[in-house]
Structures are given as C-alpha cells and as structure tokens.
A and B are shown apart, each in its own frame.
Chain A
Amino acid sequence: MDKQFVARRRRDLITAAGLAAVAAIVPLFVKDVYVQNIMVLTLMYAALSQSWNILSGYCGQISLGHALYFGLGAYTTALLFTKFGVLPWFGMIAGGLISAAIAMALGYPCFRLGGHYFAIATIVIAEIGLLLIQNWDWAGAALGIDIPVRGDSWLKFQFTRSKLPYFYFALVLACVAWFVTWWLEDSKWGYWWRAVKDNPQAAESLGVVVFNSKMGAAAVSAFLVAVGGSFYAQFVSYIDPGSVMGFQFSLLMALPAVLGGIGTLWGPMLGAVILIPITELTRSYIGGSGRGVDLIVYGALIVLIALARPEGLVGLFSRRRKEATR
C-alpha cells in the first residue's frame, strides 16, 4: 500500500501543479469579461467547497450553515475598511481568525449533536447570524455596505479596470485550499477525521480525541471559507446580508463537493468546474426572463447526478485510472 499511496500522492501534487499552471495561462487568451467572471466564480467556489469538504466530507460533520463564515469574512473586511480604513489584507486575516474562533465556540455545544440535529443546528445558527446583521444599523442593516473605490491597487485589493488580479487571487485561493486538503489528508489529523467519520466510538476507543479533531476541522474549514468571503466582498465591492450570508451560499458550497465526490481530494474541484459554469450559463442564457427555466434545468441536473452518481463524479476518473494501472 505504502509505495502506491506515496506514488499516488506525488502524482496528485504534480497533476495539481500542472492544472494550476494551465489555468494561469488561460485568461491571457480568453479576454471576454463575461467568461473571465465565470472563471473567477468557479475558482472561488472550488476553494469554498474544498474548505467545506474538510469539515463535512473528511470529518463527516455535515454543515449547511457555512454561509455564516462566508458572511463573517465579507463583513469583517468591508467594515474594517469602510469604518477604520484597515487594508483588506488585514481584514481578510481578521475575518478568518474571527470565523475560526466562532466556529470553535459554536462547535463546543454543537458537536455533541448527531446527524440531522447537527445539520439543522448549523442552518439555524447561520439564520440567526443573518437576522442579526440585517438588524444591525451600524453595519448597514439590510441595505448592506458599499465599498468605496479608491483606485486600482494590490495594496487596497481593488481593481475596476481588469478582472485578472481577482482571477489570480482566486486561483491562489483554490490552490491553497487544495494544498491544505492534500497536506492534511496524510497528516494525523486526516486519519483522525476519517476515523471520526466512519465510527466515532471505535475512534474514541483507539485514543482519537473525537471532540478535538472535530474542532480542528471546524477551525480550518471556517478560516478558509471566511477568506473566500473576504475575497468576494472585494470582488463585487457591494455586500448586503442576503447576498453573502443567505442559505443559498451554504448550499452552493456543499453542492460541488457532493456532486464531485464528498470527502475526496478532487471532488470539490471537479464539481465546481462542472457546476458553476452551468449555473452561470443557464442563468444568463435561459433565465434572463426570470421565468424559472434555469431553475428547472439546474434542479433536474442535481437530482440526476445525485441518483446516477451517488459517490460523485470523481468515481468516473478513479475507475479508469485503476484499470489503466492494472
């Protein structure tokens, strides 16, 4: 097992580096702003889903409330910048740390809950966060925050003329989330998480501190998602509670991982690359009139993939690879 496993991990790393390099060149040839926009969103959701996958896929704690951390990241960055002039880069770190701390504080009571009780608790907590921000006047309440334009610069992480800087940041973010997963997969944490997911009682009896490993997964996951939220605030330069903390974000983070393959290294990436362009294209080409056809296509696709490929689309590749090595 060992040699094969090490070889597989090395191959994963090389594949990822190759894909990242190819992705980095693409926008030099694809100048269309609309397409670039889709690419930025695809990379962002790949990163978010990869981060969600750490807690929900590897550690098995299905969270349907990660929009909370996304919103916290976006709001921390936007508030620090507009109220105190703090650069978004510091806001990004602050948002990540706040989210990780809150994830652990919430995990303390929530990780005792099993299955559906846990999932509903995550939805409910994110909804409370949403309602509180909607009623918080200092933070713009339901109207949200308009991030003022102070000219294009990396220092202020604002770019009005070109989408390329956002693209490269999203690419780096997706790579970081992937690499963190890759690295954790073979660390003691990775083994703990899978043990906790498969059989918490057995894991506990073998000396895995189940509670602490859930807390670790929650903190890493929340930190990365908050960085994504912080990026999103800069990218769209206007945020309001529903558009960064709504329930739909929690689902949009989970969907790519589920469709691609939950608890797998490549699943979230693959899911995002397929799902996000389809979402955006159906929305703009057949959903423009607001007649719901985009929703029908999108929903039907989710049902079909869930029924036809319960283990995720990543299964298509691994089977072929297995046959090739045989």
Chain B
Amino acid sequence: MTAETIIQSLASGLLMGLLYGLIAVGLALIFGLMDVVNFAHGEFLMLAMYVTFFLFTFFAIDPLLSAPLAAAALFVLGAAVYLLIVRFAMRAKANVGMVQIFATFGLAIVMRGLAQLFFTADYRSVPNSWLGGKTVSVAGIYLPQPQLFGALVAIAAFGGLYLFINRTDFGRALEATREDPGAVALVGIDKNRVFALGWGLGGALVGLAGAIMATFFYIYPDVGASFALIAYVTVALGGFGSVFGAFAGGIVVGLVEATTALILPPSLKSVGIYAVYLLVVFIRPRGLFGSM
C-alpha cells in the first residue's frame, strides 16, 4: 500500500463523505425541528434519483440542470408527507415515538411498492451524462467528477442553509419553532406552516443529493435502504438535529468508509462506519456535536 493509494482513497472518501452529509442533512433538519425521525428518508432519495432518471431519459435534461427540478419535486413531497401523515402521527395520545416510526416506515414500504409497480424492479442508470464516468486529475490524484461536483454542491448547500437559517425571517421562525413550538404561536407564527416548510426543505436537500447520486449509482426501488442507514448513522454521529453535526458526521463517515476499504475486504467496508458510530456514542452518548 503506497502513500499515493492512501491519499487517493482518503480524497475519494472525503468527497463521498460530503455527499453523505448532503443526504443526511434533511433528516437532521427535520429531527432538530420536531424530534421526528423520517424512516422514509431513503425512499425520498430513491424518488429523487428516479425523477432525475426520467427527466434525462424522456426530455434529455442533464442531471446538472435537473437537480433543481428534483429538489423542487422533493420539496412538494416532503411538505405533503408532513401535512398528510406526520401531522396526524404527532397528534397521537399514546406511543408518539413508535407511531411516528411506523407511520413513516409504512410510507417507505408504500413508496417502494409504488416504485416497483410503476418503474419496475430493473436497475436503471443515467448513461453519458456530462459528468458521469469522467475524472479530473489534481496533483496526481484522480477524482471522479460526479463526486467532486456533488461535494461542491454539498458545501454550497450547507453554506446556503446556514445563511438561510440565520439571515431570513423564515429561517429565524424555523429556529424559534425548534426551540419552543408553543411560544411561537403567541407571536403569530403558524407552527404547522413552519413544520411543513421544514419538511419541504429537508426533502429538497435530499432531492439535490439524489440528482447527483443518479449520475454514478444504479437506480432501483430498494436503493434507498442502504443509504438510509448511513444517513441515520451520520445524523446520530453528529448529534441528532444538529445541521452542522450532519455535515461533520458525513465527512467522518466518508473517511472511515474509505479507510476501512483499505484494510478490510470491500464487502466489510460498512463495518468500519458502524464500529465508529458505536465507539463515538459509547464515549459521547449524544454524538460528536450533540448537547450533553
């Protein structure tokens, strides 16, 4: 194992990690806002990948251009899921936590079923997109363009999100609702509207991630499952609900995955991520950046 190989895989790990952060940040945002874990998050990603695939196949729109469309579609989906399902799940008088888990989990199964029914179980891909399969060489290290672009989008999205939360009225309303949903009602903020927009925003972020994933990953109805578990670990690693934590958690997960792949056979590369998660929460039971 040469130094070059190590740097090469750490660099790819970093890029992938930023993308993991982008996949996970919607989950963290929603959790921070209202303490709900969306168990259909992986299926949101799957749907965004299909949206990108169909826009490419039927209208020849490159994923680079259709990414905002995928984000918009997922914004609508996220808000609709809140208004039609989660809003009612939160009203449960007993077992609120379990009701939320199983309401969103049931939704995940329905979405997978719908994908099988309408899109079939075939593996799809977006061939010959502008970035797909191309690499760029930086100081002797080869970086795949889709991941590189994805990492840049992730950084931009996190920057945008930071400004959005801190500099806009809605962002401040979001932050205030997160801190005290009862009190915001007194100053005339409609809690349901904020929650719906929060879900929409969470959806839009995973929609962006899905459009990029579609350029270098196979698209099939169950594709969300494996990324969902990584997203949960990322969010928990960062400290549930912390948007910055999801960003940092994603980078950690990407680097650990790349390192594990150097040491263990490829089929065991996820073991490293899981082991690091356990190690972190055993030492810090609320993740890296969670409040103690």
Contact = CB atoms under 8 A, between A and B. Distances in A.
A24 interface: no
B85 interface: yes
Interface of B: 31, 37, 85, 88-89, 92-99, 102-103, 105-117, 121, 221, 225, 229, 232-233, 236, 240, 265, 267-268, 270-271, 274-275, 277-278, 281-282, 285-287
A117 B274 CA distance: 13
A interface, over-half SS? helix
Contacts of A112: 282, 285
A306 B96 contact: no
Interface of B, helix, strand, loop or mixed by DSSP: helix
Given A134-B267, A300-B106, A117 B240 contact: yes
Nearest to A308: B88
A121 B233 CA distance: 9
B110 A295 contact: yes
A298 B107 CA distance: 10
Interface of A: 62, 109, 112-117, 120-121, 123-125, 127-128, 131-132, 134-135, 247, 251, 255, 258-259, 262, 290-304, 306-307, 310-312
A113 B267 CA distance: 28
A295 B116 contact: yes
Q: 4 closest pairs, A vs B, by CB?
A: A292-B116, A295-B113, A299-B109, A302-B106
Contacts of A114: 285-286
Contacts of A262: 95, 98
Given A117-B281, A117-B285, A301-B106, A311 B93 contact: yes
B171 to A, nearest CB: 25
A128 B275 contact: yes
A128 B229 CA distance: 12
Contacts of A135: 265, 267-268
B104 to A, nearest CB: 8
A284 to B, nearest CB: 16
Contact of A299 (B99, B106, B287): B106
B278 A307 contact: no
B37 to A, nearest CB: 6
A286 B181 CA distance: 44
Contacts of B103: 302-303, 306-307
B94 A296 contact: no
Given A135-B268, A300-B106, A290 B121 contact: yes
Given A292-B116, A294-B113, A298-B113, 13 more contacts: A123-B229, A124-B277, A127-B229, A131-B270, A134-B267, A291-B117, A292-B112, A293-B117, A299-B106, A299-B107, A302-B103, A307-B92, A307-B99
Contacts of A123: 229, 232
Contacts of A290: 116, 121
Given A128-B274, A251-B105, A302-B102, A296 B113 contact: yes
A295 to B, nearest CB: 3
Q: Which of B37, B112, B236, B240 has the largest count of A CB atoms less than 10 A from its CB? A: B236
A134 B268 CA distance: 9
Given A298-B109, A299-B106, A306-B106, A109 B282 contact: yes
Nearest to A60: B97
13 contacts: A112-B285, A114-B285, A127-B274, A134-B267, A258-B98, A258-B102, A292-B112, A292-B116, A299-B110, A299-B111, A301-B106, A311-B94, A312-B95
Contacts of A300: 106, 110
Nearest to B108: A299
Contacts of A311: 93-95
A292 B114 contact: yes
Contacts of B99: 306-307, 310
A296 B107 CA distance: 9
Contact of B281 (A113, A247, A293, A304): A113
A1 B267 CA distance: 57
Given A121-B278, A302-B102, A303-B85, A310 B117 contact: no
Contacts of B111: 299
Nearest to A257: B98
